[in-house]
Structure 1
Amino acid sequence: MFYRGKYFDGGDGREMGPKRQRIIDQPSSFYGASPGSSYMYNASSYAYASQPPPFPVVRLRGLPFDCTEADVAEFLHGLDIVDVLFVHKNGRFTGEVFCVLGYPLQVDFAIQRNRQNMGRRYIEVFRSKRQEYYKAIANEVSDARGGSPHRGGAKARSYDAGKDSAEHTGVLRLRGLPFSAGKDDVIEFFKDFMLTEDSVHITMNLDGRPTGEAFVEFPSAEDSKAAMAKDRMTLGSRYIELFPSSHEELDEAVSKGR
């Protein structure tokens, strides 16, 4: 699971706070390794005499263009992944990804995956720097807010018009959530509305893994329509797409993950 936006400049992922701790405390890792895995480190064993530990980020290159976060997690299985950031150019995935890991020593293990295969493609793995990762985030946020000249145009206007004309039933579908996002994150995203945990439904696939989508039930159709103002706003550095939905679509999506 990943959570972008609350990782500080220190060298280990425990500074992520409660959301970070939920990952460490899981009895079985989402990525196929238990907390007892040799990849998991106690940060106190990784000491630096005169300088802080390096920011634990690697860059992957050569990924398939239909690659998902789950594919990246499987490629780096056993490592404690804090964040996965796909790099885009002109609205298209470049085949590169930044991965923030839980501890600096895990970078060495990630480098060992260099030139291993994802499907039929071999993946290059490089050490990276905090500044490169932050620059990539800034570029993604700028593009999500309309900074790219390739965003917009007739296609985008038609897309928005379809959303505006859709009937509201009090239910919205969210797409593009970080896999780490919990109900509290969604409630915070819609903090101007009266939501409870019972009104937020994060969907899972057949393996019990988050799909990156969620459904939210608002007190009224008027509230869900007003909440559409949050469409394409960011949660962390991920921009979230909103779609008018229905209770029938909600029930069908939730039942598929059971």
Structure 2
Amino acid sequence: MDGEIIDNQDDLRRGVDDDDGDDGDDDDHGSDDGIDETSPPDDLDVEALEKSLTPLNLTSTDTLHRMSRAESAEIFSKKYAQRSQVKEEMLMDEKTKRIQKEKRRQANIVKWQSKTTKSPFKVNLVADNERLDEENRVRLMEESRRLRDLERKTKQVKNDIILKALQETSDLEALRREKRVIMEEEKRLKALLDLEKTNSHRKMDMLAAQNAEKRRKQEKIEYRMKVRKDQLQERDERYKSLLKDKLAL
């Protein structure tokens, strides 16, 4: 568009120059026809020569220049207005294309985001692995703590059982000592009976007393042993139940 304006301006300038050249040629011809430096002709038209040299021709040339400048300015103005309009249209067209392109890009982004909502590549694998490692570490720590607690409880139960077994052993030893005392007493009574065997009058009384005392002591021993046995059996059952409950934890 600028090139067209420049071409039009050059054409106008060439036209003005051509007009000036034609005027110059006419002047040259007039000078050749009417003036001779050696011998001027007799029929020289001085008035026509003066008229040709008046400022009228200069005024017409200036007017032509001004007209050409005005036409050039008008052409420039029209071309500039056309150029501005075309430029504005091009800018609007480019802006519209950019807006449409951005809309298409946003639509594609929304479409692919909806398509890739459940994609595994959107997951932060490093963070997921760190989370799994942390969960495994916490789970292992919890399991190790539970194992330590279970071992501690198992040791405590074993210690309780051993202590109770030792206590029961001491009770059995006491029963054995008591039984030995009873047996020694029976031996002593038997020896006394042997010594008193010669006394027949007191023999029946002694035997009756001995038998009664023996039965009494035997019944007493049996009763105590039965009670103790029941207590031990009940304690064993209770210990076994407690042990099962603790080990079940």
Q: Which has the higher strand share?
A: 1
Q: TM-score, normalised by structure 2?
A: 0.17
Q: Which has the higher helix share?
A: 2
Q: TM-score, normalised by structure 1?
A: 0.16
